[in-house]
């Protein structure tokens, strides 16, 4: 069997596996967020928080909950790193410097998991397992909560109530992320991922001497890292490290974990708004972009244009033998079309066009299928824009799912899609214009520019992967990337929740002959086109200077 065919079959296997999980998981999540019953452990948690899960919140209260919880999380994670040096179970690692601790705290709370540190030489058991991995759970649960609040905005009328933030946070964690992570972690250990609390130990070698390793709760962190579309690796090499991703099977399984919740949430959405067909239309949009991007990535990576790759006879630089070009291409697209940012191969050493595809994937806003929760609300915002554009064409007030998209709604949606491009382009321009940030580049020319463009694209879209040649552990990058991650995560959430409140307060508009059929393939086509045009117009000039210039030169 050829490597290309094997790559295509792996993609097909993923489609089948995701298809099998779609209905049961999507329906289960819809039940979870609609249920009025509480598990015993949830009741204990609510008592500890001092919150009544039955209290309905309007958008300001919901938003205050999101922001308060996240602010406390940033502070807690920052302090935990700052005192690491005196904590037990830290393997003798010292405390993290203030700028890097801020960057890392912002990164994990914002579901980004950008890492300017090397996992195996900086973070001990306590910070990794008790700090970073906890944010892998709760930052994902916050994203899902905000998505569900927006879905309730569509589903409810004449109220303005969006549910209870604490209940959504706790249920997302306890009923969805935890059980799936337990299963995922055990599967990964069965493949060979490590799971222990060993300290730093010597392992003998074949020709004598020894290697030094730190043990760790790797499999348990790996599972939620993928499932929560977080992406922060236990080790520097992330999911390319054999202890994180030991076999071709674990590789495909990790890609499955990355994609399963974001795709299934479209079913949850369809169920909650009372029309699963609406969910299918969103699903079709996401799937079309995902499969298209994966096809393009395989094509360019197998063709391997570029001087060094031509010389080597294949684009295997930065890729592991066990995954090959196929398994690496599928992973790279899945991780950048979601907000994951885990890598099983190093994007900086992809072909010029391949690197461009990873960047474009993030610049779409990570909506195909996107991060846990953030993918769904990002895609629904694009759907509102698409409906609005269709409305302009025929000259009538647009509506979506029985809600009018008036000037207030469209202003909020437009603000949402302006935030990340503004952050990415302004910070990139500043870094290029200032004298010192450029010193962090490993490569020169278009690829050097790509390293910086990639860094801010990854940060503002909460991805976290890198063209890792960039030495990002400087005060400039730690600070500006930290800010880009926080603003890129929480400003859009503000607009989403305000929008959700506005939608929930509306009275439903009856469907007429003039209503755009948003569950039909025509709408899916319109939505794909809208996404491509909005992103293309925004980022084309910047992409032309980096990956396009590199790709065309080779």
Partner 1 sequence: MNNSVGNTARLLGAGLRALLVLTVLCGVLYPLAVTGVAQGLFPGKANGSELTRNGKVVGSSLIGQRYDLPLKDGQDTPEPDLKWFQPRPSNGLGTNSVNTQYELILSGATNRSGDNEDLIQWVKDAKAAVVKDNSTPGYRVMPQDVPPDAVTSSGSGLDPHISPEYAELQVHRVAEKNNLDVKQVEKLVDDNTDGRVLGFMGEPRVNVLQLNVALKELVG
Of residues 26 through 45, those in contact with partner 1 by CB under 8 A are: 41, 44-45
Q: How many residues bind partner 1 (CB under 8 A)?
A: 127
Answer yes or no whether residue 185 interacts with partner 1 by CB under 8 A.
yes
d(CA 172, CA 511): 33
Site for partner 1 in 42-61 (CB under 8 A): 44-45, 48-51
Q: Report in angstroms how near the CB of residue 479 gets to partner 1 at its nearest.
A: 20
Cα 18 to chain centroid distance, Å, stands at 17
Angle at 347 between CA 427 and CA 108, to 5 degrees: 60
Answer yes or no whether residue 468 interacts with partner 1 by CB under 8 A.
yes
For residues 121 and 499, the answer to whether their CB atoms sit within 8 Å is: no
Query: 400 in helix, strand or coil?
Result: strand
Query: 459 in helix, strand or coil?
Result: helix
Q: Report in angstroms how near the CB of residue 268 gets to partner 1 at its nearest.
A: 22
Q: Which two tokens stand for residue 433?
A: 């214009």
* 18-21 own/partner pairs: CB under 8 Å, 24+ apart: 18/256, 18/259, 18/260, 18/263, 21/256, 21/260, 21/264
d(CA 463, CA 339): 4
Answer yes or no whether residue 10 interacts with partner 1 by CB under 8 A.
yes
DSSP string, 213-268: EE---HHHHHHHHHHTT----SSTTGGGSTTTS-SHHHHHHHHHHHHHHHHHHHHH
Q: Report in angstroms how near the CB of residue 277 gets to partner 1 at its nearest.
A: 33
Q: Which of 167, 193, 368, 516 binds partner 1 (CB under 8 A)?
A: 193
Site for partner 1 in 432-461 (CB under 8 A): 442-443, 445, 447
Site for partner 1 in 115-144 (CB under 8 A): 118, 120-122, 129-131, 133-134, 137-138
d(CA 546, CA 297): 17
Binding mask 506-535 for partner 1 (x = CB under 8 A): ------------------------------
Q: H/E element holding 451? A: helix 445-460
Nearer to partner 1, 3 or 157 (CB): 3
85-124 burial: b if 16+ Cβ within 10 Å, else e: eebeebbebebbeebbbbbbbbbbbbbbbbbbbebbebbb
Site for partner 1 in 206-245 (CB under 8 A): 206-207, 211-215, 217, 219-221, 224, 235-237, 240-243
Answer yes or no whether residue 299 interacts with partner 1 by CB under 8 A.
no
Q: Report in angstroms how near the CB of residue 213 gets to partner 1 at its nearest.
A: 7
Binding mask 93-112 for partner 1 (x = CB under 8 A): xx------------------
Nearer to partner 1, 168 or 409 (CB): 168
Stretch that binds partner 1, among 145-153, 202-210, 383-391, 533-541 (CB under 8 A): 202-210
d(CA 486, CA 111): 9
For residues 443 and 550, the answer to whether their CB atoms sit within 8 Å is: no
Nearer to partner 1, 48 or 394 (CB): 48
Site for partner 1 in 321-380 (CB under 8 A): 321-324, 326-328, 343-346, 348-349, 351-352, 355
Answer yes or no whether residue 81 interacts with partner 1 by CB under 8 A.
no
Which residue matches tokens 């080779």?
Answer: 554
Binding mask 257-286 for partner 1 (x = CB under 8 A): ------------------------------
Q: Which of 373, 375, 469, 488 binds partner 1 (CB under 8 A)?
A: 469
Q: Report in angstroms how near the CB of residue 300 gets to partner 1 at its nearest.
A: 11
Nearer to partner 1, 79 or 532 (CB): 79
For residues 452 and 441, the answer to whether their CB atoms sit within 8 Å is: yes
Nearer to partner 1, 51 or 545 (CB): 51
């Amino acid at each position: 069997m050829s490597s290309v065919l094997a790559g295509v079959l792996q993609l097909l296997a993923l489609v089948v596996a995701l298809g099998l999980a779609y209905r049961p998981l999507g329906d289960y999540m819809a039940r979870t967020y609609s249920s009025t019953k509480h598990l015993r452990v949830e009741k204990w948690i609510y008592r500890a928080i001092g919150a009544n899960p039955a209290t309905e919140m309007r958008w300001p209260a919901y938003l205050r909950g999101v922001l308060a919880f996240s602010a406390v999380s940033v502070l807690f994670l920052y302090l935990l790193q700052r005192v690491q040096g005196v904590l037990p179970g830290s393997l003798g690692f010292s405390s993290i410097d203030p700028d890097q601790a801020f960057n890392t705290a912002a990164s994990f709370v914002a579901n980004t998991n950008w890492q300017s540190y090397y996992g195996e030489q900086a973070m001990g058991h306590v910070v990794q397992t008790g700090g970073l991995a906890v944010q892998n759970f709760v930052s994902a649960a916050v994203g899902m909560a905000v998505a569900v609040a927006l879905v309730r905005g569509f589903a409810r009328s004449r109220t303005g109530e969006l549910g209870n933030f604490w209940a959504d946070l706790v249920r997302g964690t306890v009923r969805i992320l935890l059980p799936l992570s337990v299963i995922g972690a055990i599967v990964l250990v069965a493949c060979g991922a490590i799971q222990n609390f060993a300290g730093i130990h010597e392992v003998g070698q074949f020709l004598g001497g020894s290697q030094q390793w730190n043990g760790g709760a790797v499999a348990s962190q790996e599972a939620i890292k993928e499932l929560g579309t977080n992406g922060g690796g236990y080790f520097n090499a992330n999911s390319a490290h054999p202890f994180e991703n030991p076999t071709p099977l674990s590789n495909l399984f990790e890609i499955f974990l990355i994609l399963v919740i974001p795709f299934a949430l479209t079913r949850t959405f369809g169920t909650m708004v009372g029309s699963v067909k609406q969910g299918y239309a969103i699903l079709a949009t996401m799937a079309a972009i995902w499969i298209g991007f994966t096809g393009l990535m395989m094509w360019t990576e197998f063709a391997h244009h570029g001087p060094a790759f031509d010389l080597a006879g294949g684009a295997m630089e930065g890729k592991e033998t066990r995954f090959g070009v196929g398994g690496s291409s599928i992973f790279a697209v899945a991780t950048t079309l979601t907000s994951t940012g885990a890598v099983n191969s190093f994007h900086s050493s992809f072909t010029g066009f391949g690197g461009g595809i990873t960047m474009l994937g993030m610049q779409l806003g990570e909506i195909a299928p996107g991060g846990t929760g953030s993918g769904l609300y990002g895609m629904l915002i694009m759907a509102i824009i698409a409906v609005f554009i269709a409305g302009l064409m025929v000259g009538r007030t647009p509506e979506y799912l029985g809600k009018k998209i008036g000037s207030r709604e469209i202003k909020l949606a437009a603000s949402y899609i302006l935030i990340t491009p503004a952050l990415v382009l302004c910070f990139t321009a500043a870094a290029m214009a200032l004298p010192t940030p450029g010193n962090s580049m490993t490569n020169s020319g278009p690829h050097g520019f790509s390293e910086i463009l990639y860094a801010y694209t990854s940060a503002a879209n909460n991805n976290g992967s890198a063209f890792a040649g960039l030495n990002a552990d400087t005060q400039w990058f730690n600070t500006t990337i930290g800010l880009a991650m926080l603003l890129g995560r929480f400003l859009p959430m503000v607009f989403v929740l305000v929008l959700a409140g506005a939608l929930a307060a509306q009275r439903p508009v009856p469907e007429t002959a003039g209503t755009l059929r948003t569950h039909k393939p025509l709408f899916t086509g319109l939505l794909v086109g809208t996404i491509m045009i909005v992103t293309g117009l925004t980022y084309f000039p910047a992409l032309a200077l980096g990956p396009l210039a590199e790709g065309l030169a080779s």
